[in-house]
Every structure is written in C-alpha cells, then in structure tokens.
Structure 1
Amino acid sequence: MWPFSSATFVPATSIQGLAGKVILVTGGNNGIGKETVLQLAKHHPRKIYLASRTESKGRDAISSIKSQTSQDLDIEYLPLDLTSLPSIKQAADHVISHRDRLDILILNAGIMAVPPGKTASGQDIQMGTNHVGHFLLTKLLLPTLQRTANEHNADVRVISVSSEAHNMAPNLDTILSTEKLAATGPWTRYAASKAANIMFAAELARRYPALTSVSLHPGVIKTDLYLPNAETNALVRWGARIVGPVLFGTVETGALNQLWAAAGAKKEELVNGEYYTPVGKHRTNKWSTDAGAGRKLWEWTEKELKASGY
C-alpha cells in the first residue's frame, strides 16, 4: 500500500519524532533487535527498555549503542526470558511500576529451527518462545498500552516480527496441538510459530483497535539465529559460508522494516492487523485475514497460560 525501498526509507531522516515516547524491544541485545534500538535511540525517545535473557549481553549492547549515540540516553536493560512465565511477569511488572506509558512495543526476540524441547509451562520451545511468551508480555502490558492510546493524538504500536517462513506452517489444528507439532521437523515448528505471530498481531488489532498492531518479515538476513543450526546442520553451515554473502542482507537492512513500522510510517499509512514485507509493502496474508483462526489461537494461548496460573 505504501511501498518503500531500503533506499527511500532512511532511519536517520525518515523516522518520526520520538520525543517523550517509551519503547520496549525484546531481543534487543544483538542482530536486528540491537540495530533497531540503536536507530531508535538516535531520535532521543524518553526511554528504551532493551529486553533480553542474558544480562551481560544486554548491558554490552547498551554500552555499544551509547558509544555510537550519547551516554545521556535512557536505555535500561530489562531481564526477560521468554521461556519462563515468571520472568515475563517480572519484566512486565517492572515496566508497569516505573512507567505510566508505553508507546512502542517491538516483539523482536525469537529462536529458529532449534532441536525439540518444551518451555517450563509445557509448550513447544519455539512456539513458547516466539508466540506464547510474547503473548503474555503484551497481555500484561495492555493496561499501560491502552492508557497511552487514550491520550490525545496517541499513536501506540505493537510490532510482531514474523517471517516468510509462515508459508511452510502446518494447518491450524497442528499449530494448536503441542503433541502434533512435536511430531514435525524443526523448520515446520519454526514456521508454525511465525504463523502464530501473524495471527496474534491481527487478533490484537481486532480486539484492541485503539492500538496499531502489525506483523512483518524482516528479510533474509544473517543473524545469530542461524548459529544453532550451523553447528549441527552441514547444509546450513555451507549455505551461511558460501551462499550467505550473496543471499543474506545485512543486519542494518534487516532492521529497516520494523523500524519503518514502529516509527517511520505515519499511523494512517499502516493497515491495522496486517502483514508487511520489506520495506513497507502490505501483503495480503491468509493468517492475518482469517479471523476464526486468530480467535482460536488467542483462546488456545489463554487456555495454556491459565493452566500455568497466568
């Protein structure tokens, strides 16, 4: 709808004013998450929460970002383990108790095609990390997001980082069954979690239209997400070394689409609940347009969380 190229969208000049805004980025310690925090920081928001699991990496990222911008920027490390529901609640409680607003929430963190496993609450490790964890974080932050959205001329955005891998996702019945999902391969489980990201973003927009909620594909980029696969898969290792330099984009270009969606596009340029490919290209998507699927995913996730006391 509002297509941009990486040449026409330049974060330094294209991002709207961020003065007074509070931002939270999950997985902000490396890759496109770190690049996203860096570029947003250059526009001097009121506060950025850099959320990640490993404190040393999070603090190193903040030091690196401040060395490239300003030591006076308010960037705070926020401990967040998306496989742990208590950790997610602690992170949300910290934000809620210290901030009266939240303008931009970027759900960027994720894992890709890792070996089989489950979260402490029993979900597939990829579905639990990439979808369920972010669902709970958003749910707990909803009162703050809604309060901010009720202000005059408010512009509150929730950005779900998905992937074109959603095209490889199994049917909804498999996505919503931990047992059936466990019987599939690592890439299918990853694709299922990315389809869930799209459905979640769309359903969030339906249920809370005062928020602008979109999902997106960052592009094919070489990030640390490939490391676990390169260690165990010779084909991935070969691809990263030989084909990667040709096919993979840089972290800088990989962050452009979420930067555009979070702070570059005007509010009226975004179709609430929809899916975007780089940079700023609105794509019709079966997962975003299927309201029934979105409702079923939402209800399944609520049921999973309720079973664990959340």
Structure 2
Amino acid sequence: MWPFAGSLTFDPATDIPSLAGKVVLVTGGNNGIGKETVLQLAKHNPAKIFLAARSASKAKDAIASIKSQTSEDVDIEHLPLDLTSLPSIRDAADQVISRADRLDILVLNAGIMAVPPGKTESGQDIQLGTNHVGHFLLTKLLLPHLQRTAEQHNPDVRILAVSSEAWNMAPKLDTILSTEKLTETGPWTRYGASKVANIMFAAELARRYPKLTSVSLHPGVIKTDLYLPSTGANVITKYGLMLLGPLMFQDVKAGALNQLWLAAGAKKEQIVNGAYYTPVGKLRHNKWATDVEAGKRLWEWTEQELKKSGY
C-alpha cells in the first residue's frame, strides 16, 4: 500500500460481517470506488442500498452490473442526486426518509477534482460546493434519521467523508471561507480546499453528534474518471500520468478498501471518532481534524451559505 506503510490486511469478502437489516447510502455509487463500495457491501446481505448518482442511465447500468456479481435479489435503489443543486439534495433526503425507516451507513463518496472555475446553483465554488456543501446539506437533512437509527435500531451508525491527501494543497482557512478569494486560486488549490473541508466537517460532526461515528479518509491514489478534467487541460499532467500512472495508481478494488473497512469492516471500538484515516485503517494525525475553532468556523459558514438559499 505504498506510500502508506503499516496498513492492515483487510479482505471485504471475509472481514465484513453480515449487514442484515442495515440500510446504506453511497453517493457517487455509479462508478469508481463508489460502485466498488456498493458491490462489496451488497455481498453481505444489507436490507437496502441507496446508490446516489446524477445520471439515471449510469445508475441503472451500475446496479445491473453489481447484481450480476452478487444476487438479483439484493435491494439496490437509484437515488437521484445532484450535489450542485440544493433542491435535488432535499428531494434525495426526502426519498431516503420515505423509503427506509433507518440509515446505518452513509458514505459521502461523490466528488469532482481539479475542474475549471465555476459555481454551484447556490453560489459556492463548484468544487467546494459539490464536495463539501452538498454533502453537508445531505447529511444535515438525514441527521434525524441517522440519530433515530442509533437510538432505536443500531448504536453503530457511521458517516464517512471521502477526503484526500490533496488536503496538503489547501489554502488558508480565510481563503476557503471566501468564495471570491477561493475562485482566484488554481484548480488544485480549490480541490485541496474541498478536501480539507471534508476533514473538518467529519471532525466537527463527531464533536456535535458523538453518538454517531463520523470520520474522513484518503482512499489512496486511484486511476478513476476524476482525473479526466486535469489531463484534458494540462499536457504535462496528461503525459506524466501516462508514464507514471502504473507506478502511482492503485486499481479501483484496492482504492475502495479504506472506506469499506471504515464503513463495515472495523469494529466500532477500533475507530476514533472524528479522525482521518489513510489506507488501510491507518489513523493519521491531521491538523484540520483537531482544530476545533476551524471546524466550528467552517460549520457556521456552511450554515450561513445554505441559509442564504433558504436551507
């Protein structure tokens, strides 16, 4: 698992216990490590999996592919979700609440990376808005459902925010919390900002709702469709990835291991609430996860951004 030495050995086929009765939601579940996460969890008899994705056709194809590798009887439902649209997020949360009486595992996996500058419908930077603000609202709307699950069905409810070691490229917090300043930075800086936000969000969520297990994670360096925008815009990046990719990248199956371990493989007592993990199951000190004031500021900023749009 270079460069993350010391990771544990984990096989989803044998090390994930039965998920009987449990309900799972994975955003971005139609491809990449999101799809692999749905596939591996589907093999352990969950009551239901919501596969959240924008494209109905891609979701349909993904569900058919997963069922062909598991069982036609497994209950996987497409959950329409556009993380740049607050109404879409609200509708998705309403659908989950109406279609399932519990929610045990929430994997905030979807994201975009190093795309050109732009804004969401509600006015945030497109990367921060998609990767953080959209997931923040989805989680907020589902929190009563998650808490009720912990109280009535299962004390081990988990929320995973998929971050990245790209957090190292993030600017200062004041820039992250200023759409104007953030827009003036480069695509990788904006991506780093969104990944820092994932880390701070999971940590602050754990502080505010300690009965839920909330963590952030780096999945590893994986060759997925996320790299398409950056390779198309930068010739050096494109050919660099062609030359070095085989040495740098894990495949998707390996890339999903960290979130699978955190979602279902690890016992609750093995996980430090609010922490940041690298593959596989490696607890890492992260300054943003432990910065209480920064986490509070991000949370309050996000609430204000949503309030401007009536959410």
Corresponding position of 2:236 = 235
* Secondary structure of 1:28's aligned partner: coil
Q: Which residue of 2 aligns with 1:10?
A: 11
Q: Secondary structure at the match of 1:195?
A: helix
TM-aligned CA deviation for residue 154 of structure 1: 1.7
Report which stretch shifted further, 3-12 or 150-159. Answer: 3-12
Q: Name 2:221's counterpart in structure 1.
A: 220
| Counterpart AA for 1:191 | G
Cα offset for 1:151?
2.8
Q: Give TM-score, length-normalised by structure 2.
A: 0.97
Q: Deviations over 1:170-191 (max 9, x none)?
A: 1110010000101100000000
The RMSD of aligned alpha carbons is 1.3
Name the SS for the 1:25 alignment partner: strand
Identity of aligned residues (%): 76
TM superposition shift of 1:7: 7.1
Q: Give 1:4 shift.
A: 9.4
Distance in 1 between the 2:14 and 2:237 partners? 37
Deviations 1:71-115 (A, max 9, x none): 000000000000000000000000111211000000000000000
Q: How many residues align?
A: 308
- Give runs of aligned pairs for residues 199-218 of structure 1, distance below 5 A: 199-218=200-219
* TM-score (normalised: structure 1): 0.97
Deviating 4+ runs (over 3 angstroms)? 3-7
Confirm or deny: 8 A CA contact 1:4 1:280 kept in the other structure: no
Return the offset for 1:239: 2.4
Q: 2: CA distance between counterparts of 1:6 and 1:201?
A: 22
Give the conservation status (yes or no) of the 8 Å contact 1:130–1:193. Answer: yes
Report what 1:134 is aligned to: 135
Any gaps of 5 or more consecutive residues in structure 1? Answer: none
Q: Give the letter aligned to residue 84 of structure 1.
A: S
In structure 1, distance between residues paired with 2:44 and 2:235: 42
- Cα deviation for residue 168 of structure 1 reads 1.1
Instruction: Tell me what 1:63 maps to.
Output: 64
List alignment gaps of at least 5 residues for structure 2: none
**What is the deviation of 1:16?**
2.2
Q: 2:8, 2:280 within 8 Å by CA — same for their partners in 1?
A: no
Distance, in Å, in 2 between the alignment partners of 1:247 and 1:154 is 39
Q: Please say if residues 93 and 142 of structure 2, whose CA atoms lie closer than 8 Å, have aligned partners that are also in contact.
A: yes
AA partner of residue 73 (structure 1): V
Work out the CA distance in 2 between the residues paired with 1:203 and 1:235: 38
SS in 1 for 2:152: coil
